[in-house]
Structure 1
Amino acid sequence: MHPLFAQFVPKFALGKIYIKQGRVKIWLDEVDQVFQHPEIATSFFALLRTWHERGKNEAVWQKLRLVIVHSKEVYIPLNINQSPFNVGLPIELRELNWEEVENLVKLHHLEWSSEQIKELMAMVGGHPYLVRQALYQIARGRITLEKLLQVAPTEEGPYCDHLRRHLNNLEEHPELLTAIKQIITIDYPISIGTKEGFKLRSMGLVKFQGNLVMPLCELYRRYFSYRL
């Protein structure tokens, strides 16, 4: 393993390596954490890009697949020829629609009415992680839907770690903190700075309606209204 990869992945990202039939897949989750360390980000991402380029010409490197997961847009300056983010296949995880949430409910062997699905989506929208976490906890018998809806935006709820990470990220960026305060205090979409809107959307906290923004879901509105 390259020393740069071995040194920084355990510190700044959740890395997993899968080996099957002579092929290697490296899964890097939460690489957003590397963005916060520009002193190593350039070299680290250049290394990943180098591996990609070698796969074009060298048979052994064609057996490598990189999966890079991040919840923020890449806004650190990277040389276009040394960035792994402008090659490969980009996949943006969108919100789930009603039918997809309904199918997930069935896959978790929950017999829910349309009203129960409506109540869950009224709180978390179609956010894939939030929906999945709710269904998993309920299916395991750890909490009821009624209780989850009561405690979801609190430190008692199953989303506490997720919400706290977002809060910590916002507190590190005063301009985003100011913007989210504006958004959550008004019950209709508003206009904010383009840069702030872009970054908040990339964090998954807001959604656009035309050029206006609003909280992605009621969970975020309630949690940040209390915390901020």
Structure 2
Amino acid sequence: MISFIQGLVMSRSLRISPQYIERVKRAVKHNGFFRQRDLAEELQLALSTVSSFLNGRRVDYATFYEICERLGLELKEIADLEDERSDRTFSAEALELATVDCSGEETGTAVSEYMERPPIESRCNETILQPGSLLRIKAPKRMGKTWLIDRILAQATKQKYRTVNLSLLLADGSVLSSLDKFLRWFCGVVGRELRLRDQLTDYWVDELGSSQSCTIYFEEYLLSQLEHPLVLALDDVDRIFPYSAIAGNFLAMLRAWYEKGKRSKLWKKLRLVVAHSTEVYIELNIHQSPFNVGESIELPEFNREQVQDLAQRQGLDWQGAQVDQLMSLVGGHPYLVQRAIYHLTRSEITLKELLQKACTEAGIYANHLRGHLGNLQEHPELAMAMKIVVESTHPVQLESMLAFQLQSLGLVQLEGNEVKARYHLYSNYLHDRLGN
């Protein structure tokens, strides 16, 4: 199965979907690369390759992934997959697991199947079957929220439900400049995903306000057009938390929709899935918050048994000692565990060597760690906060917003009102670099 997925990855190329080219070019400048040549030199790629990528021409998967990772972009969100969807053998999971190792060579992780964390999956599937339901999923980045959402929507499709999967990371600065623009964008994207014509001008009533107009659009147009229930999955909802006016009104509207689903036959069609990476740090009236109703799911890391099962499924004859050694470094973080198992199954490195080099520029996590360091260096206040964390031998208290932002990045974990570095991998790597 491993070689099968490697074959898929190595035999194909990707390009940016045309509607996201400008967004990607903005991300280049946002990440401090004022010229394409600067990005090419950073990644040790040919300038022509970077130019092809940024102008919507095809490049190989490894290159596509590497550039996305450096720019902080999600491959699955910006890639043009329309011509891939007809190929049933090319799964979204295989795409998500395509990675690049620290030498820039193309690889894939060892895991080709979703690792279930019972009873989470069954709880999610049961929830969306309930009329007017609301499912809340919380977990740091790269913990598997997107995979879980994909699984939920796949089950919904089997029930002949309509589905929309929308990451709020797609809302750029212009969209987030006002509540009205954001809600118009939101309605437009959902309608487009449902293959319905844009009728905003017919239903938007400025005098009623943006939230009410959005509600009318869903009630009188979108939901009314559907014969079957709609599962609307909103991923990366914490994207809007810093925009308190937008977040407060949008989240209150979602709560109002949930309440409508208790009594309205039409609104019972709507099943909401709300996923976010951090605790909710904006102030919401308890009666207007969607975060204290519905079904709550906190996606955990892999436990010791799951890590061992994962390793053994991929041909590693691991006992408890090897599992403990890996988990002492990266916990049960799905991405970090899978990446280690992949390299070990290729027999290109021993577990002892992997552990020795893991926190260095020669380790298998070098790109991942450099990405985190780059994010911190771009935000000095976060870098200073993380420096305090990694230099302390015990949990520390930070300003709430900084703590939540570091948690969203997956770098720290909360212990009451205090935080500590999430893994030894992060604390060891960042201790030296932030100290300088």
In 2, Cα distance between equivalents of 1:126 and 1:113: 16
Task: Single out whichever of 198-207 and 214-223 deviates more from structure 2.
Answer: 198-207
Coordinate RMSD, CA, aligned: 4.1
**TM-score of the superposed pair, with normalisation by structure 1:** 0.71
Name the counterpart of 1:7: 185
Name the counterpart of 2:282: 76
What per-residue deviation string (whole Å, max 9, x for no partner) do you get for residues 12-61 of structure 1? xxxx98xxx92322222222211133342223223322321221112232
**TM-score of the superposed pair, with normalisation by structure 2:** 0.41
Structure 1 counterpart SS, 2:276: coil
Is the Cα–Cα contact under 8 Å of residues 316 and 345 in structure 2 kept in the other structure? no
Name the counterpart of 1:125: 331
Highest relative contact order (Cα 8 Å, sep 6+), 1 or 2? 2
In 2, Cα distance between equivalents of 1:10 and 1:143: 48
Query: Residues 149-228 of structure 1: matches in 2 within 5 Å?
Result: 149=355, 150-151=357-358, 154=361, 157-158=364-365, 160-161=367-368, 164=371, 168=375, 172=379, 174=381, 176-186=382-392, 188-193=393-398, 195=400, 199=404, 202-203=407-408, 204-207=410-413, 213-228=419-434
Change in CA separation of 1:193 and 1:4 when aligned onto 2, cut-off 3 Å: closer
What per-residue deviation string (whole Å, max 9, x for no partner) do you get for residues 107-141 of structure 1? 44543343432332122012344324444x44884
Task: Single out whichever of 35-44 and 192-201 deviates more from structure 2.
Answer: 192-201
* Alpha-carbon offset, residue 144 of structure 1: 4.6
Change in CA separation of 1:171 and 1:142 when aligned onto 2, cut-off 3 Å: farther
Name the counterpart of 1:100: 306
Is the Cα–Cα contact under 8 Å of residues 170 and 177 in structure 1 kept in the other structure? yes
One-letter code aligned to 2:430: F
Which residue of the other structure, out of 263, 268, 278, is the alignment partner of 1:62? Answer: 268
One-letter code aligned to 1:79: N
> Which entry has the higher C-alpha Rg, 1 or 2?
2
* Number of residue-to-residue matches in the alignment: 218
Change in CA separation of 1:153 and 1:200 when aligned onto 2, cut-off 3 Å: farther
* Alpha-carbon offset, residue 181 of structure 1: 0.9
* Alpha-carbon offset, residue 217 of structure 1: 0.7
* Alpha-carbon offset, residue 103 of structure 1: 2.2
Task: Single out whichever of 80-89 and 189-198 deviates more from structure 2.
Answer: 189-198
Structure 2 counterpart SS, 1:96: coil
One-letter code aligned to 1:191: V
Task: Single out whichever of 165-174 and 115-124 deviates more from structure 2.
Answer: 165-174
* Alpha-carbon offset, residue 167 of structure 1: 5.5
Gaps of 5+ in 1: none
In 2, Cα distance between equivalents of 1:92 and 1:217: 19
What per-residue deviation string (whole Å, max 9, x for no partner) do you get for residues 144-197 of structure 1? 5646542566497457357635862685472x43332122124x2143347378
Is the Cα–Cα contact under 8 Å of residues 179 and 192 in structure 1 kept in the other structure? no
Structure 2 counterpart SS, 1:91: strand
* Identity level (%): 36
